[in-house]
Structure 1
Amino acid sequence: MPGSLQPLDVGLQIPYHFRCPVSLELMTDPVIVGTGQTYDRLSIESWIATGNITCPVTRLPLTDFTLIPNHTLRRLIQDWCVANRSHGVERIPTPKQPADPIVVQSLLKQASSMSNSRQARLSAIRRLRGIARESEKNRLLISTNKGFEILLDVLFSETSRNSSDLVHELLSILSVLPLSETECVSVSSVPDRISYLIFLLSHSLIDVRVNTAALLENVIAGTSSSELRAEISSHDEIFDGVIGILDYPISYPRALKVGIKALFALCIVKQHRHKAVEAGAVEALIDRLPDFEKCDAERALATVELLCRIPAGCSAFASHALTVPLLVKVILKISDRATEYAAGALLSLCSTGERLQVEAVAAGVWTQLLLLVQSDCTERAKRKAQMLLKLLRNSCPENSVMNSDYVACSDVVPC
Structure 2
Amino acid sequence: MILPWRKPRAIKKSKKQIPFDDLDMELAIPTHFRCPISLDLMKDPVTLSTGITYDRESIERWIESGNETCPVTKQVLTSFDQIPNHILRRMIQDWCVENRSRGVERIPTPRIPVSPYEISDVCSKIAGATRRRDGKKCGELVMKIKNWGKESERNKRCVVENGMGCVLSACFESFASNSLEKHGNLLGEILSVLSWMFPLGEEGLSKLGSENSLDCIVWFLRNGDLSARQNSVLVLKELLYSNQSHVIMKKLLEIEGIDEALVYLIKDPISPTATKVSLMAIYSIISSSVSNDKISSRFVEMGLVGLILEIVFDAEKSVCEKALTVLDALCNTEQGKEAASKNALIMPIIVKKILRVSDSATELLLSIFWKLCKNERKNGEEALMIEAIQVGAFQKLLVILQVGCGENTKEKVKELLKLLNVYKNRVDCVDSSMDFKYLKRPF
Q: Fold conserved (TM > 0.5)?
A: yes
Aligned to 2:393: 365
Residues in 2 aligned to 1:194 and 1:383: alpha-carbon distance in whole angstroms: 42
Q: Quote how far apart the aligned CAs of 1:174 are.
A: 2.2
Aligned to 1:86: none
Per-residue CA distance 1:196-238 (angstroms, 9 max, x = gap): 3333332242332333243234323324574653342244511
Q: Quote how far apart the aligned CAs of 1:167 are.
A: 1.8
* C-alpha spacing 1:239/1:369, structure 2 compared with 1 (3 Å): same
Match of 1:316 among 323, 339, 348: 339
Give the structure-1-normalised TM-score. 0.62
Uncovered stretches (5+) of structure 1, i.e. residues with no partner: 1-39, 54-62, 69-95
Aligned to 1:151: 168
Aligned to 1:391: 415
1:269 matched to 2:269? The reply is no
Residues in 2 aligned to 1:304 and 1:325: alpha-carbon distance in whole angstroms: 15
Q: Quote how far apart the aligned CAs of 1:244 are.
A: 0.8
Give the structure-2-normalised TM-score. 0.59
Match of 1:260 among 240, 257, 279: 279
Q: For residues 73-222 of structure 1, what are the structure 2 equivalents within 5 Å? A: 100-114=115-129, 118=135, 121-129=138-146, 131=148, 141-156=158-173, 157=175, 158=178, 162-179=182-199, 180-181=201-202, 183-188=204-209, 190-222=210-242
Residues in 2 aligned to 1:323 and 1:206: alpha-carbon distance in whole angstroms: 31
Aligned to 2:307: 284
Residues in 2 aligned to 1:297 and 1:137: alpha-carbon distance in whole angstroms: 35
Match of 2:260 among 218, 233, 240: 240
Question: The residue matched to 1:394 in structure 2 has which SS?
Answer: helix
8 Å CA contact 2:240, 2:249 repeated in 1: yes
Residues in 2 aligned to 1:367 and 1:97: alpha-carbon distance in whole angstroms: 66
8 Å CA contact 2:347, 2:387 repeated in 1: yes
1:294 matched to 2:317? The reply is yes
Across the two proteins, how many residue pairs are aligned to each other? 323
Residues in 2 aligned to 1:364 and 1:99: alpha-carbon distance in whole angstroms: 63
Q: Quote how far apart the aligned CAs of 1:340 are.
A: 2.5
8 Å CA contact 1:200, 1:208 repeated in 2: yes
Residues in 2 aligned to 1:306 and 1:322: alpha-carbon distance in whole angstroms: 18
1:329 matched to 2:352? The reply is yes
Q: Which moved more, 1:335-344 or 1:261-270?
A: 261-270
Residues in 2 aligned to 1:276 and 1:208: alpha-carbon distance in whole angstroms: 28
Q: Quote how far apart the aligned CAs of 1:259 are.
A: 2.9
* Rg larger in structure: 2
Per-residue CA distance 1:124-166 (angstroms, 9 max, x = gap): 3234345557888765644443323211222232377523321
Aligned to 1:36: none
8 Å CA contact 1:216, 1:262 repeated in 2: no
* C-alpha spacing 1:159/1:398, structure 2 compared with 1 (3 Å): closer
8 Å CA contact 1:105, 1:145 repeated in 2: yes
